[in-house]
Homo-oligomer: A and B are copies of this chain.
């Protein structure tokens, strides 16, 4: 349940309320909202009498949270969550472009892409160092070397870095290099990983699973948030419908208004994985911005035909510049800014 505390309540009184809740079997999270103290009390499977809670000294108002996700719900936190990534605000008015290669293949590749996408207005550099591949015989990524390349290129171009973490064992090294930890669609219910990410203070970009319902997806966010890490960005990347041969997955843009209604978390759209075909990325990126997303995640490769991974869906550098220009016009039409083209003093990396 959500418990709004009286103005000017002192910490002893808050502690007393928390104690009461804990002894009644609840887990309690504290949040300051609009200058007021709020508690989120979670008691799965228990029935707490709301009137008893209301009667506790210092309690102003009490309401049930009507979803199985609690901390992730807008019922608990009405205001949008805005996540600061080295000066870039994700979830605010600006639509943030994130772009880069599917996999880090080498220094020159990443630097070329980083400069180009930064010049077109992207603020976050994406790139896979640990690659989840369907085949054990396919290229599995450059690992730490890849992270180093990514960090250097991002620093040079003044960008933040988002990269995928596949397993808890990679967490420590990822924290050294990466500004946003990406959880891939296949790991959306890797609960051990989600719990570990709840323990760190680093933004997480959580992709929707190929067959995740909204509730399952937001419950995955809740796993991270219930551990203490509130900086979760959700990312729609196409679901598995009955399919067909013309797109890889089905991009579900209704996720944008649905997430905005259910949750306060920022939502980013990845049209590249959703459609899997270069020439369909552009119209769907425009559509995502028009529908109200907070950011785009786009695959760009200097020479897609030579890419070790996901070549067919990667944009060429010129394609990305065209995309950036087009989505900027759409963003303007709905009154939201996108970072202008051209280099800019960027964020410092996690060790900066």
Q: In this assembly, does A50 line the interface, its C-beta being within 8 Å of a C-beta of chain B?
A: no
Interface mask (A35-69 → B, CB under 8 Å = 1, otherwise 0): 00000001111000000000000000000000010
A83-91, A96-104, A289-297 - interface stretch: A289-297
Interface mask (A303-324 → B, CB under 8 Å = 1, otherwise 0): 0000000000000000000000
Whether B330 contacts A290 by the Cβ 8 Å rule is yes
A120-128, A218-226, A344-352 - interface stretch: A218-226
Tallying the copies of this chain within the complex gives 4
Whether B275 contacts A254 by the Cβ 8 Å rule is yes
Given the known interface contacts A168-B167, A242-B241, A334-B326, the answer about A253 and B191 at a Cβ–Cβ threshold of 8 Å is no
A306 to chain B, nearest CB (A): 12
Whether B244 contacts A242 by the Cβ 8 Å rule is no
Q: In this assembly, does A175 line the interface, its C-beta being within 8 Å of a C-beta of chain B?
A: no
Of the candidates A244, A252, A275, the one having the most CB atoms from chain B within 10 angstroms of its own CB is: A244
Q: In this assembly, does A157 line the interface, its C-beta being within 8 Å of a C-beta of chain B?
A: no
* Residue of chain B at shortest CB distance from A246: B258
Q: In this assembly, does A283 line the interface, its C-beta being within 8 Å of a C-beta of chain B?
A: yes
Q: In this assembly, does A111 line the interface, its C-beta being within 8 Å of a C-beta of chain B?
A: no
Residues of B within 8 A of A272 (CB): none
Q: In this assembly, does A155 line the interface, its C-beta being within 8 Å of a C-beta of chain B?
A: no
| Bound Cα distance A252, B250 (Å) | 6
Q: In this assembly, does A286 line the interface, its C-beta being within 8 Å of a C-beta of chain B?
A: yes
Whether B133 contacts A191 by the Cβ 8 Å rule is yes
The answer, among B216, B253, B257, for a CB contact under 8 Å with A253, is: B253
The answer, among B44, B186, B256, B261, for a CB contact under 8 Å with A189, is: B186
Whether B246 contacts A243 by the Cβ 8 Å rule is no
Q: In this assembly, does A22 line the interface, its C-beta being within 8 Å of a C-beta of chain B?
A: no
Residues of B within 8 A of A250 (CB): 239, 241, 250, 252, 254
Residues of B within 8 A of A108 (CB): none
| Bound Cα distance A9, B274 (Å) | 48
Q: In this assembly, does A213 line the interface, its C-beta being within 8 Å of a C-beta of chain B?
A: yes
Q: In this assembly, does A13 line the interface, its C-beta being within 8 Å of a C-beta of chain B?
A: no
Whether A42 contacts B137 by the Cβ 8 Å rule is yes
Interface mask (A277-289 → B, CB under 8 Å = 1, otherwise 0): 0011001101111
Q: In this assembly, does A235 line the interface, its C-beta being within 8 Å of a C-beta of chain B?
A: no
The answer, among B133, B261, B283, for a CB contact under 8 Å with A291, is: B283
The answer, among B187, B210, B243, for a CB contact under 8 Å with A190, is: B187
* Residue of chain B at shortest CB distance from A249: B254
* Residue of chain B at shortest CB distance from A140: B191
| Bound Cα distance A242, B291 (Å) | 22
| Bound Cα distance A27, B137 (Å) | 9
A281 to chain B, nearest CB (A): 9
Whether A211 contacts B214 by the Cβ 8 Å rule is no
Residues of B within 8 A of A241 (CB): 239-242, 250, 252
Sort A-B residue pairs by CB-CB distance and give the 10 closest, nearest first: A290-B290, A44-B137, A167-B192, A211-B211, A186-B189, A287-B287, A287-B291, A286-B290, A241-B241, A333-B333
Could you pull out 9 A-B pairs where Cβ atoms are within 8 angstroms?
Answer: A42-B137, A134-B216, A136-B195, A209-B211, A246-B262, A250-B254, A287-B288, A330-B334, A332-B333
